[in-house]
A = this chain, B = another copy of it.
Amino acid sequence: MKILSNKADLMQAVNIVSKAVAVRSTISILECILITASGNEIKMTANNTELGIETVVNGTVIEGGVIALDAKIISDIIRKLPDNEVAISTDDKFKTSIVCEKAHFEITGKSGDDFSYIPDLEKSDAIEISQFTLKEVIRQTIFSIAASENNIVMTGELFEIEDNILKVISLDGHRISIRKIELNDSYPHKKVIVPGKTLQELNKILTGESDEIVQLFITENHITFMFDQTIVVSRLIDGNYIDTSKMISTDYETKVTVNKRELFDCIDRATLLSKEGDKKPVVINVNDEAMEIRMTSFIGSMNEEIEIKKEGKNILIGFNPNFFIDVLRVIDDEEVSLYMINQKSPCIIKDDKENFIYLILPINFSSVER
């Protein structure tokens, strides 16, 4: 194999496929990036068996061939090369030489024979969404997947397509995040659980351009994302997702509308009094025109008032402050509305059109507050 490309193109491709390289695997081929040169096309591929990524590299094929190179080593070498044309060539013993200007590296690669290629799935019935929207949807839901694998379906996100609506849901047992997106076309009903890890890695390589389209293909066990010159293939999580439809009540006794930035800053200040693992709630006391936010822990106490617009009853309720921070961080609106029923019922934060709905369970603070 012999290919010519330039440092920037190689670096970009390595950065993209690296997201699917296995970390500390006992199978060393999973820690490799496969370079394939055939016809006029150079491709890089990585696959940790859960997630596979393939991308086209701009460049010229001088001689076709295949080589698997340790991802860490090739990535380090390319990063440190001068900004110029790079020649990568291999011999029949997988000795690989990387030459750029006067710099000359030699490393030993592996045969591509043992590499686990990403499955070649049927690509029909593409669901189309802009890169910008997909990136936003992931950012606005990914924080509430479950960290522990006790309930494997909660480590993923539900992607449900019905007509022209994509609904994305994540939940961890204490909170739920729901985002609804209107698509340009209508599609047959699909309902799959996409691993959170896949979405986190995908989010890093989506450029987020609003006029660039991502095509989604859903097959029995896989979801495929195609965009730019890249294909991301992920296994789906097998199982039944929790039915959230009955958890989101539309009734409320109290509706509070508040400046998002002020609420964020105020709860952020409260958070510094709670140490990790110390489950002190932030207590919210809703009065007629103001809401008092207070926090008491072994470190000290804080209280602060913010102006609000209120409908309905006064309420005194406690929450994990970090759950509020996570939600307020991803909402782009200037004002947010909080809907509450009583001290033991969840708080719902949503916009009028219900494009986003966030549910946060309260903490019984009477037992914890001094």
| Bitwise interface map of A from 278 to 312 toward B, beta carbon under 8 Å scored 1, else 0 | 00000000000000000000011111111000000
A269 to chain B: which residues have CB within 8 Å?
A: 77, 80-81, 103, 105
CB–CB B302/A106 < 8 A: yes
Q: How many positions in chain A have a CB within 8 Å of any CB in the partner chain?
A: 27
Confirm or deny: A333 has a beta carbon within 8 angstroms of a beta carbon on chain B.
no
CB–CB B300/A102 < 8 A: no
> Given the known A-B contacts A76-B272, A272-B76, A305-B102, are A265 and B82 also in contact in the complex, defined by CB atoms under 8 Å?
yes
The complex places the Cα of A304 from the Cα of B101 at a distance, in Å, of 9
The complex places the Cα of A80 from the Cα of B268 at a distance, in Å, of 7
A102 to chain B: which residues have CB within 8 Å?
A: 304-306
The complex places the Cα of A266 from the Cα of B82 at a distance, in Å, of 9
> Given the known A-B contacts A80-B268, A81-B269, A82-B265, are A103 and B302 also in contact in the complex, defined by CB atoms under 8 Å?
yes
| Bitwise interface map of A from 326 to 355 toward B, beta carbon under 8 Å scored 1, else 0 | 000000000000000000000000000000
CB–CB B300/A108 < 8 A: yes
Q: In the complex, what's the smallest C-beta–C-beta distance from A276 to chain B, in angstroms?
A: 13
Contact among B107, B108, B299 for A107, CB-based, below 8 A: B299
Confirm or deny: A73 has a beta carbon within 8 angstroms of a beta carbon on chain B.
yes
CB–CB A105/B301 < 8 A: yes
Give A300's nearest chain B residue, CB to CB. B107
Give A82's nearest chain B residue, CB to CB. B265
Confirm or deny: A189 has a beta carbon within 8 angstroms of a beta carbon on chain B.
no
A305 to chain B: which residues have CB within 8 Å?
A: 102
CB–CB B299/A104 < 8 A: no
CB–CB B306/A105 < 8 A: no
| Bitwise interface map of A from 100 to 126 toward B, beta carbon under 8 Å scored 1, else 0 | 001111111000000000000000000
Contact among B105, B268, B302 for A300, CB-based, below 8 A: B105
> Given the known A-B contacts A80-B272, A265-B82, are A103 and B299 also in contact in the complex, defined by CB atoms under 8 Å?
no
CB–CB A299/B80 < 8 A: no
A80 to chain B: which residues have CB within 8 Å?
A: 265, 268-269, 272
A103 to chain B: which residues have CB within 8 Å?
A: 266, 269, 302, 304
- Interfacial residues of chain A within 254-278, with CB under 8 A of chain B in the complex: 265-266, 268-269, 272-273
The complex places the Cα of A302 from the Cα of B107 at a distance, in Å, of 9
A273 to chain B: which residues have CB within 8 Å?
A: 105
Give A77's nearest chain B residue, CB to CB. B272
| Bitwise interface map of A from 66 to 105 toward B, beta carbon under 8 Å scored 1, else 0 | 0000000100110011100000000000000000001111
A104 to chain B: which residues have CB within 8 Å?
A: 302-304
The complex places the Cα of A34 from the Cα of B305 at a distance, in Å, of 30
Give A76's nearest chain B residue, CB to CB. B272
Give A79's nearest chain B residue, CB to CB. B272
A306 to chain B: which residues have CB within 8 Å?
A: 102
The complex places the Cα of A272 from the Cα of B70 at a distance, in Å, of 14
Q: In the complex, what's the smallest C-beta–C-beta distance from A79 to chain B, in angstroms?
A: 8
A81 to chain B: which residues have CB within 8 Å?
A: 269
A107 to chain B: which residues have CB within 8 Å?
A: 299-301
A266 to chain B: which residues have CB within 8 Å?
A: 103
The complex places the Cα of A107 from the Cα of B269 at a distance, in Å, of 14
What 6 pairs across the A-B complex have the smallest Cβ distances? A107-B300, A103-B304, A76-B272, A105-B302, A80-B269, A106-B301
19 CB < 8 A contacts A-B: A73-B299, A73-B300, A76-B272, A77-B269, A80-B265, A80-B269, A82-B265, A102-B305, A102-B306, A103-B266, A103-B304, A104-B302, A105-B273, A105-B301, A105-B302, A106-B300, A106-B302, A107-B300, A108-B300
